[in-house]
Chain A
Amino acid sequence: MSEASKVLEKLADAVQIGDPDQVQKLSKRAVAMKIGPLKIIEKGLTLGIRKVGELFERGELFLPDLMMAAEATKAGLRVLEPILRERKETRSFLGRFLMGTVEGDIHDLGKNIVSVMLEANGFEVIDVGVDVPTETFIRKAKELKPDILGLSALLYTTVPKMEEVINALKEANLRDQVKVMVGGAPVTQEIARKTGADAYGEDAISAVDKAIKLMKMQN
């Protein structure tokens, strides 16, 4: 095995273990070895977090393992992204996902878990936070042109806000440009249909599956 593959393999391992310091060190070493940043991301970071995702789905790893691996991936990206910008290269993503918790709700655990899983699976995730007013979703959708908008809620009382956002998208003539996904503890398939969303994930894994399917439908 070449020196380059060895470093990338170690990098993937460090992501898997969830060691951000080691990930940064190895990312820098890979850069010093003149491996292109895109390749480092693809063959190192992404490979590592995909593996963690697979083990999580099989029940062999748990949420903290996944979240720590995600943190480690981000630590690696902090090293690599400035270099990408310098070289005027851009990562190719599966899709752009705009994500937020609807107004009236400050719960973000589920949203954050889904965001991490989406990133691990090759999405570019832009998280607009919690308690997000409908107008903000609309403004951001116009500005960032996401492929998918994800609306999250934990409180049953804030579910109508999801419908409000979707209606506002229609009014702004954006509805046919962006797919909408809803999710969170009170959301069921039935509720998802009522709000007018395109898809719904009952848990983080299914949310990612659905997002990937939506992207395939678009292309």
Chain B
Amino acid sequence: MSGWETVIGLEIHAQLATRSKIFSGSATAYGASPNAQANLVDLGYPGVLPVLNAEAVRMAVKLGLAISATIAPRSVFARKNYFYPDLPKGYQISQYELPIVANGSLEIVLEDGGTKRIGITRAHLEEDAGKSMHEGIAGMSGIDLNRAGTPLVEIVSEPDMRSAKEAVAYMKKVHTLVRYLEICDGNMQEGSFRCDANVSVRREGQHRFGTRAEIKNLNSFRFVERAINFEVSRQIDVLEGGGKVVQETRLYDPDKGETRSMRSKEEANDYRYFPDPDLLPLELDAAFVESVRATLPELPDQKAARFISQYGLPAYDAGVLTASRELADYYEEVVRLAPADAKLAANWVMGELAAALNKENLDVGSGKLPADRLAGLLARISDRTISGKIAKEVFELMWSTGSSADSVIESKGLRQITDPGAIERAIDEVMARNPAQLTDYRAGKDKLFGFFVGQVMKATGGKANPAQLNELLRKKLSG
């Protein structure tokens, strides 16, 4: 691979979380029985007309503002004409020459910790198509138009990414952003968030872009990474073998881990775009844009910066904790309820909690361990009721039983021993039972200190406060 540079641009399709479709009043909910959510407009019946959903416009503007883009004062819906059975009108209403959002950017964090700005050429509104079903109906295909007319925003990046990892980092960043903005549920299994990747390679130092292939419909971060890496190797192989990369559309086959040609440029459709005469140009004034700006939440980068300054967290922690709004909110709730040690809270959220959630394939919003429960545990660590080590045991019990930290500590008798008299009594007993070790220690065998700590801990069931134990033990042993 050396001597080659990879160039990647992504076209991300995010389904907007409106209740109704972009040009009709049908519901957009996922999973209804086929065609239950397709009305006459969605079915493209003779005489019907589209009416633009204002909520979809508001969501696109939100996105535009969040990526510091220009919101077009006038954008135009156009028809993209092609025949396909799941495209009811024979054209898709999209935006072509004048999109609603242009010239934005996002910053991604690279593996070495550095950052990189990824340009976003444009984002435009369009309607989704339905889907064809080729199984279950003998000799025929079925058409489900529930998805037809679902609002999408297509976010087109500049060819600014130079590796599959950068592409994934960018896609994750957009994914985080649209969920923060509450304009897309980000559900990749259901196809709410997917992308096409434009991939090309060129000799290092070469200025001109190589011929690109477009890999269609990638619906997981892992697939994006694998498909791009496969495609890059394939193109390099072709070029090193003296061949030429063909401009074409390719499909990624996740089972085989390879991309396959779908159609070449010569076979590509001529979409015959022209402004849709059924829809007036979309005109947005500054007052509208400002009213949308007023609804913007704190964005991921702003939140991460605040976490660093407000909670004294390292940049890495701030990045992880702000990756989703739910996680960030959870963290802040924990800190609010257990304010003694924000870093301790970060460690627990990113460590024990994340691991436990991950293991059961849950997310933080699942409610399995509410923030107040975790805060209750952290409070007991901070007030030294339990040690950090015992806390992990408590956490596991809280996770499996749903009990609070206090009730686990009480019922299992895990409360840390902080009564100096009790600790001293335990020390005395251990010393009495181990006269030989005591003599050796006093003769200068300092290493035996650890032995006594262990013995006392064993005697107290691990509950002795470690700091107190150390102090009292040292005093007693030295006689």
A binds B: no
On B, residues with C-beta under 8 Å from A are none
On A, residues with C-beta under 8 Å from B are none
